[in-house]
Amino acid sequence: MNKKRIITLVAMIALIVTLGATTAAGYVSANRYKTNLEYNYKRAMGDLNGCVSNIETALDKAVYANTATQQNGLAAKLMRESSMAKSALAVLPITDHSLDNVTKFITQVGDFAMTLSTKVSSGQKITEEEYKTMKDLEQYAKTLQSGLQNVKTNIESAQLTQEFKKTSEDFTDFPSLIYDGPFSDHISQLKPMLTEGRPQILQGNAQNIAAEFLGVTQDKLAHTQDTAGGLPTFNFTANNGGIRICVTKAGGFVSSMENSRDVTAESLTYEDASKKARSFLDGRGIAGMKETYYVINDGICTINYAYNKDNIIFYPDLIKVSVALDNGEIVLYNSTGYIMNHHDRTVAAKITADQAQGSVSKKLKIQKRGLALIPTPGLSEVLTYEFLCSGQNNERVLVYINATTGFEEQILILQTSDNGILTK
């Protein structure tokens, strides 16, 4: 083989290798593009689902809103959610008319909310016809949200078009509720109030505290990596790592304990779990806590307790206790809300309960009332009157009226089932 042919052969091999590498790179790039595109579609579907769910909840609450402040707040939320929903719809790869009805509904909600906001801001009242429109829109939102739950997330354009056609033709009803109890996940303060100014404890003392809390000897615990950040803790494990417990470095408070064992049966009721949880708190000297709401999932009953003093419920000061329904063992304890927010407060209502009751919608029948301190989105707290009411179709509703101004602060819809008390 002469030198010229060798050079030509080498050049051809190099070209083939280059083309192969380019083709492989192209495949990789195409797959990456497809993956990113599918991720964007899935995220848009998730955003759309969440927006429609939020619209349904806001419309449900709007029927019971009775003051301009709350009505305007809900109208603003509806406008915001409808705008976000339209942005999510714009991302989806559907080119036919499958989305027309959905888009029309989302637009109508936004336009209706803007009309209400303008009307309320000018001092006018919402009419019965407009309240009826709210209920109609709420029912459609509920139907649409149920349908969106059925849309597959393995998204391709043709698939998604077909799924939306199916959604528009075959809706089923069930409410989508997110539970964690009213005000149970109040934003963490920059500094935990309960531990502020408390002395730092030694690791050995923290281990003693953890052992006593668990009812075991100190040698049964192993020290693991500590937690830094806003709430520094000493961390320990027991039972070969199956139990984890955290003790604050300042003040020595148990902030959390979790037993990760499997719960294989449900032989106990909520009432049994409530007694077990109360006995657990009493046995550790944790007093002044009032049971509020609970939920049952996977054989575990989680009960929320809020601090109670002078007949005022302090919702930010929260402790959660989870009870295994197979044998009544406490498998989770979390007092982070209490540690972050509990401090001495001087609060007093400026208006009477009767005056506050005047701000509650006449569409609601009041069953119970009392004072409650609730957190606000602006990292503050407000004293309110909490009214437990029954609404349309025996719907249970909580209304919170500011105990100083008489304005509505919050409306929550409650649903009671075998699995607990759900809120939205």
Residue 143 lies in a domain: yes
Residues 411 and 272 in one domain: no
Q: What is the C-alpha separation between 348 and 315, in angstroms, rounded? A: 16
Residue 180 lies in a domain: no
Residues 337 and 359 in one domain: no
Residue 57 lies in a domain: yes
Q: What is the DSSP letter of 153?
A: S
pLDDT at residue 18, as a whole number? 62
Residue 189 lies in a domain: no
pLDDT at residue 178, as a whole number? 28
Residues 289 and 393 in one domain: no
Q: Which helix (H) or strand (E) covers residue 258, if one does?
A: strand 254-259
CA angle at 365 for the pair 175 and 389, rounded to the nearest 5°: 50
E strands in 260-407: 289-297, 300-309, 312-324, 330-334, 365-375, 381-390, 396-402
pLDDT at residue 215, as a whole number? 93
pLDDT at residue 179, as a whole number? 30
Residue 247's beta-bridge partner residues?
Answer: 234, 254
Residues 106 and 239 in one domain: no
Positive or negative, the CA dihedral 289, 306, 328, 416 is positive
Quote the number of domains for the chain.
3
pLDDT tens-digit map of 22-60: 665 566 555 665 566 667 777 777 888 888 888 888 888
Residue 182 lies in a domain: no
pLDDT at residue 180, as a whole number? 44
Residue-number span of the structural domain to which 318 is assigned: 203-341
In the chain, how long is the greatest CA-to-CA distance?
Answer: 108
Residue 385 lies in a domain: yes
Residues 357 and 334 in one domain: no
pLDDT at residue 45, as a whole number? 79
Q: Which helix (H) or strand (E) covers residue 235, if one does?
A: strand 233-238
Would you state the structure tokens that stand for residue 320, as one six-digit string?
């959660």
Minimal CA–CA distance to 294: which of 266, 317, 273?
273
pLDDT tens-digit map of 97-130: 566 677 777 877 877 787 777 777 767 788 887 8
Residues 365 and 336 in one domain: no
Regions in the chain scoring below 70 on pLDDT: 1-38, 93-100, 122, 150-190, 377-379, 418, 422-424
Q: Are 89 and 167 in contact (CB under 8 A)?
A: no
Pick left, alpha or beta for residue 181 (phi over 0 → left; psi -120 to 50 → alpha; otherwise beta): left
Alpha helices in 215-309 (DSSP H): 270-283
Residues 14 and 155 in one domain: yes
Residues 154 and 8 in one domain: yes
Residues 15 and 97 in one domain: yes
Residues 333 and 374 in one domain: no
Is 286 exposed, middle or buried, given 0-12, 13-18 or 19+ CB atoms closer than 10 A?
Answer: middle
Would you state the structure tokens that stand for residue 85, as one six-digit string?
């929903």
Residue 178 lies in a domain: no
Residues 213 and 336 in one domain: yes
Choose one of 315, 341, 367: the last residue of a domain.
341
Q: Give me the phi and psi of 256, to 5 degrees please.
A: -160, 155
Residues 21 and 113 in one domain: yes
Residue 175 lies in a domain: no
Would you state the structure tokens that stand for residue 243, as one six-digit string?
């139990």
